[in-house]
Structure 1
Amino acid sequence: MDQEMAHRWLANTGDLIVEHIDEPDGRVRLYYLSTMADAKVVYNELIPKLRILQLEDASIAEVERQLGVASSNRVYGVQEAVSRMIQNCIYVHVQDAAYGLAIPSDGTAGRNIQAPEVESVVLGPQLAFVEELHVNLSIIRKYMPTTHLFHERLAVGKEIPIDVSLLYLENIVDPENVNTVRQRIQELNIDSQLDSSILAQYIADNERSLFPTLQITERPDRVVHGLRQGQVAIFVEGSPFALLGPTTLLQFFQSPDDYYLRWVLATFNRTMRMFAMILSLLLTPVYVAALTYHYEMVPADLLLSLAQSRSRVPFPPLWEAFLMEIIIELLREAGARLPTKVGQTIGIVGGIVIGQAIVQAGFTSNILIIIVALGALSSFIAPSYMIGSTIRVIRFPMILLAGLLGAMGIVIGFSFLASHLLRQTSLGRPYMYPLYPVRFEDWKDGFIRAPLSSLWQRFKFLNPQLKQRFNREQAQIKKDIDE
């Protein structure tokens, strides 16, 4: 590949660097992109090693031996050489040689490994994935040093291909799950920005559903746990989040911290999350339905307080509730989009000031402020940001149905919600497992978290090849040191 041909393939590329090792003939040249490759490798390693050779008579085999390059790094053709340079490689060209050499060298800026920000960690490893794919894969390899961990690299997009990696334990995972994920990714023909969350929408069973069917996580311990259970992990170059699938609705309310706590505490936390989800969906709709149609359901003492609180409110309960829910969502979105310090100020001060001003102006009642705040707080308890956002969106049609039809509207809303969830699948697996189909043996790691010694079976939902995680009888044996 001569210099003119390199510039023709990389037209309008101001960061193409060509180094002539043996001036003035330039029989051996180095080609690389200054924005992608590490220049220190060029000047501190490659050039000193090459100058030791008698370059006038050196063959490509001698150059390959001197640089210690594996045969897998041989490059044939200009197009392949340019492709490898774009992928952070330094291309070594020897005149009249049958092939060239691609030396891996990543000089791109990266982010240091830090503690998770979206999924906060109480107990467990204090590290999260980063945007570099090879770093994320090395983290998983560190936690799972086994030859059974398979890694498949796929490319999505023709004009601008993006690397996508599949990870799974080949002795545990159901091959059908791997084939489903692989087929859906390979069938993609897109030329847009690709991130883990975007890829999840493309390969989801029903992209029109509000409920996420693939788990998005930045925590390596969650991915390792999923792989050991038989799930498939998906990583995308440039994304600090991984995908796990297939998954169930209950898994979105489970946290890796549950396995670091004693089983009673973990069960209590999971129960609280389920209760919070129901509370977030029901609290405001029940208030609207009771004050609009069902005064007889409210105790007499509480009814008097409600009447006094709403005596100055000019709006019916439906519009009063909608007004407060929208204000809460505006404050939440503003706090999320603004810089961290300003966002915290907006969330705290804005909520207090605006809430107090609305009550004094007579636009809403004190009781509704409390109810809406409890409903919003309950939606934030979910460990997954995606499922928390879904609950907050569903609350609006539930409030509308309660305002139009009362208690019957709430029943109709829950009926439609249950019907929708029962029809959902994740990579072809039932989304509501173990509720539907009913599998009581998997409830011990669903609604509750049983003692670790009783979790000797893997999740049947995933149809793993190895059904047992360990021997149950041996795990329950307790012996003293002198026995």
Structure 2
Amino acid sequence: MFRKRRVDKDDPKLESPHSTNLDALHKDIVSLVSNSEDLVLRLLTLQNQRIGIFYFEDLIDTKSLQDSVIKPLEKITDDINFEVIENSIHIAKLTQTNQLDDIINNLVNGTAYIYRERDNLGILADVADKGTRSLEKAETESLVFGPKVSFTESISKNLNLLRSNINDPKLCVETFMIGSRAKKKVQMVYIKDIAEVENVNIFRQRITDLEVDSILDSTILAQMIEDNSYTFFPQLLTTELPDRLSISLLHGKIGLLVDRSPTAIIGPSTFMTFFESTEDIYMRWNMGTFLRFLRLIAIFFSILLTPAYVAVLTYHYEVIPSALLVSLGQSRSNVPFPPMFEALLLEFIIELLRESGARLPTKVGQTMGIVGGIVIGQAAVQAGFTSNILIIIIAISALGSFTAPSYSIGTAVRIIRFPIIVMAGFYGGVGIMFCFCFLLIHLLKITTLGRPYLSPLYPFRFSDLKYSIFRLPYQYLQIRPVTNRTQDKGRIPNKNAVQKKDVDE
């Protein structure tokens, strides 16, 4: 963990070369990092010349500093000069500088500064203790088929995973440093001859125009650069799967990697993108298509099933089949609340169970969700707070919202269900239709990097349906999605890709 240290950016000393005297340099650095006690100056005296090594002891890899910097310097037998010092250090990433702002910004990121007294330049050596975990399975995007490895908090490891999937020399990486106080490395990745230039320029402009003190995670960055900050619906997809980012780049999209963040940002991302899973691609095309239809139907029921129950019981008894009317009346005979309050109460309880289960430790959270749902549901029915039928409807609605592969879109669906229930309680079916039309108009107005959010449904692009709603066999996926406006449009150049021949033909 990096400690927060205040650096006075307006100090005139930051814009000029530092003092050539080690004691004066040490004094300047100490004052600029607010007298932090973990700043260390290691002095070496070699051939009557003083060499200072500045670093923060809690940010560096001590073994790397000792084995790759200090020991090689102590073994120098030739006349000491800047070139000899630089050639003796066994660190891959070395930078020459004499600017205090460069030194301070690198010190707080785990770099050591090596300086020989009275030299014109010093050396920045990257000996940071990355403190990252090893490669593990994805937590929030679990898969049955396909690679299980996920991104980590190390941006270098994440880029390595991406390049191992796409070993294309056209894969471009642009690096930005964002943050006025705590600088964070952000890398934009795209395939040069596939991604549209306008999309790349929009991403680049929005990142460089940011004026913020720090960015802690990629999810925060996504909120800062998206088109509409007031809607419930996310416009940029975040994923922890390297293969999902790789597939998106090959389709002409752009990715963002943020240092110390285990998720990547993908854009432009349409509404249908949040209901797609990489597992659809790894499975057979007919199975993948079935699962996509299943998710869309489940989301539709999740939004409208509970409001429909409230509207029917409040205003539209005539639509209830006579065979069901008796059992429904008996189920609600002991319920003292109106259907709207009854539905809102159960929806609120479901959200409480979900949130408490997510915040508790894994094993306890699973037990809490299962046992709590059974106990509270049964007790609510016996106490007369709700009916058995509504318990079933609420459970189906909750399960439908959990089918979305993206956690953010599933949360949005659960939130918008509440105002629709309220409108159904006051105005019945008319209220549901009003909310549905309002939601549709809202989705039509949203854009993602200036592109229509509901594409390829609006504007309608028939050729892109095979990448969103359907999942056709690979021989029919010869052209990249038109929505992304790619430069290289062809994926399978052979026009006879549909034809299959035996070996003896």
TM-score (norm 2): 0.92
Q: Distance in 2 between matches of 1:24 and 1:404?
A: 88
- What are the equivalent positions in structure 2 for 1:298-309 lying under 5 Å apart? 298-309=320-331
**Structure 2 vs 1, CA of residues 71 and 313 (structure 1 numbering), >3 Å: closer, same or farther?**
closer
Q: 1:479 is aligned with what amino acid?
A: K
- Residue 115 of structure 1 aligns to a residue in which SS? coil
Deviation at 1:230, TM superposition (A): 0.9
Q: Aligned match of 2:445 in 423, 426, 429?
A: 423
Q: Which residue of 1 aligns with 2:251?
A: 229
**Any stretches of 5+ residues in structure 2 without a counterpart?**
1-19
Deviation at 1:6, TM superposition (A): 3.2
Q: Is the 8 A contact 2:178 2:214 kept in 1?
A: no
- Of 177-186 and 353-362, more deviation after overlay is shown by 177-186
Deviation at 1:343, TM superposition (A): 0.9
Q: Is the 8 A contact 2:113 2:125 kept in 1?
A: yes
Q: Aligned match of 1:127 in 144, 149, 154?
A: 149
Q: Which residue of 2 aligns with 1:395?
A: 417
Q: Which residue of 2 aligns with 1:285?
A: 307
Q: 1:338 is aligned with what amino acid?
A: L
- What are the equivalent positions in structure 2 for 1:131-280 lying under 5 Å apart? 131-280=153-302
Deviation at 1:341, TM superposition (A): 1.4
**Structure 2 vs 1, CA of residues 367 and 448 (structure 1 numbering), >3 Å: closer, same or farther?**
same
Q: Aligned match of 2:118 in 93, 96, 112?
A: 96
Deviation at 1:111, TM superposition (A): 1.4
Deviation at 1:23, TM superposition (A): 5.9
- Residue 195 of structure 2 aligns to a residue in which SS? coil
Q: Which residue of 2 aligns with 1:338?
A: 360
TM-score (norm 1): 0.96
Q: Distance in 1 between matches of 2:28 and 2:35?
A: 13
Q: Which residue of 2 aligns with 1:30?
A: 53
Q: Which residue of 2 aligns with 1:9?
A: 32
Q: Which residue of 1 aligns with 2:384?
A: 362
Q: Is the 8 A contact 2:180 2:214 kept in 1?
A: no
Q: Distance in 1 between matches of 2:44 and 2:473?
A: 66
Q: 2:392 is aligned with what amino acid?
A: I
- Of 220-229 and 31-40, more deviation after overlay is shown by 31-40
- Residue 320 of structure 1 aligns to a residue in which SS? helix
**Structure 2 vs 1, CA of residues 199 and 71 (structure 1 numbering), >3 Å: closer, same or farther?**
closer
Deviation at 1:222, TM superposition (A): 0.7
- Give per-residue Cα distances to partners, 1:413-472, cap 9 Å, x unaligned: 110010000111000000000110011111112111111111111111111001111125
Q: Which residue of 2 aligns with 1:450?
A: 472
Deviation at 1:16, TM superposition (A): 2.0
Q: Which residue of 1 aligns with 2:404?
A: 382
Deviation at 1:69, TM superposition (A): 6.5
Q: Distance in 1 between matches of 2:369 and 2:486?
A: 45
Q: Which residue of 2 aligns with 1:440?
A: 462
Q: Is the 8 A contact 2:184 2:215 kept in 1?
A: no
Q: 1:76 is aligned with what amino acid?
A: N
- Of 149-158 and 283-292, more deviation after overlay is shown by 149-158
Q: Distance in 1 between matches of 2:122 and 2:306?
A: 68
Q: 1:187 is aligned with what amino acid?
A: D
Q: Distance in 1 between matches of 2:369 and 2:463?
A: 43
Q: Distance in 2 between matches of 1:70 and 1:106?
A: 12
Q: 1:48 is aligned with what amino acid?
A: K
Please report the RMSD computed on the Cα atoms of aligned residues, expressed in angstroms: 1.7
- Residue 137 of structure 2 aligns to a residue in which SS? coil
Deviation at 1:147, TM superposition (A): 1.6
- Residue 269 of structure 1 aligns to a residue in which SS? helix
Q: Distance in 1 between matches of 2:116 and 2:110?
A: 20
Q: Distance in 1 between matches of 2:88 and 2:284?
A: 57
Q: Which residue of 2 aligns with 1:43?
A: 66
Deviation at 1:107, TM superposition (A): 1.4
Q: Is the 8 A contact 1:35 1:108 kept in 2?
A: no
Q: Is the 8 A contact 2:178 2:215 kept in 1?
A: no
- Give per-residue Cα distances to partners, 1:189-232, cap 9 Å, x unaligned: 11255321111111111100111000011111110011111111
Q: Which residue of 1 aligns with 2:98?
A: 76
How many residues of Structure 1 are paired with residues of Structure 2 in the alignment? 482
Q: Which residue of 1 aligns with 2:13?
A: none
**Structure 2 vs 1, CA of residues 233 and 307 (structure 1 numbering), >3 Å: closer, same or farther?**
same
State the identity as a percent.
44
Q: Which residue of 2 aligns with 1:412?
A: 434
Deviation at 1:71, TM superposition (A): 9.4
- Residue 21 of structure 1 aligns to a residue in which SS? strand
**Any stretches of 5+ residues in structure 1 without a counterpart?**
none
Q: Distance in 2 between matches of 1:402 and 1:472?
A: 54
Q: Distance in 2 between matches of 1:357 and 1:472?
A: 64
